[in-house]
Amino acid sequence: MKTILVLSILFFVVALPALGELTVEDIEKIDAKIKESEDRTQKHVTQQIESLKTPVAWLIGILVAVIALIGIPLVVLTIMIGWRSVQDNAQAKQIEILTQEIETLKRQRVVNP
């Protein structure tokens, strides 16, 4: 019982300042502290963002370089394969024409020995 009484009195003594009213000066002090804290937080966030800009730029540069190193040879290979295919088609047409001429000449030779 004494413990409950002592704890209750202690609680009221601790809670008593909470019942006091805030003056205009107290509110202004609190407002100034909040603004100061906001300013420090804003500076810290700005510094963190600035410190991240350089590594991100490097990362983007490296990524672009890797894409270029992989992409450019693939484009060159694709162009070379296409060009070779066109040449192969042209050679196949020439072979077909020459084969027909040979067949024609063989027929003429068989007919006129």
The torsion region of residue 77 among left (phi > 0), alpha (psi -120 to 50) and beta comes to: alpha
Would you write out the chain's pLDDT as a tens digit for each of its 113 residues? 888 888 888 877 777 666 667 788 888 998 999 999 999 999 998 888 888 788 888 888 899 999 989 989 898 999 999 899 889 888 999 999 999 999 998 888 776 66
**Model confidence pLDDT, tens digit, residues 6-37:** 888 887 777 766 666 778 888 899 899 999 99
Q: How far is CA 2 from CA 11, 14, 15, 60, in A?
A: 14, 18, 20, 71
Q: Can you give the residue ranges of every domain in the chain? A: 21-111
Distance CA 94, CA 100 (A): 10
Residue type, 73: P
With the C-alpha atoms ordered 72, 74, 77, 79, is the resulting torsion angle positive or negative? Answer: negative
In the structure encoding, which two tokens stand for residue 89, read together?
């088609």
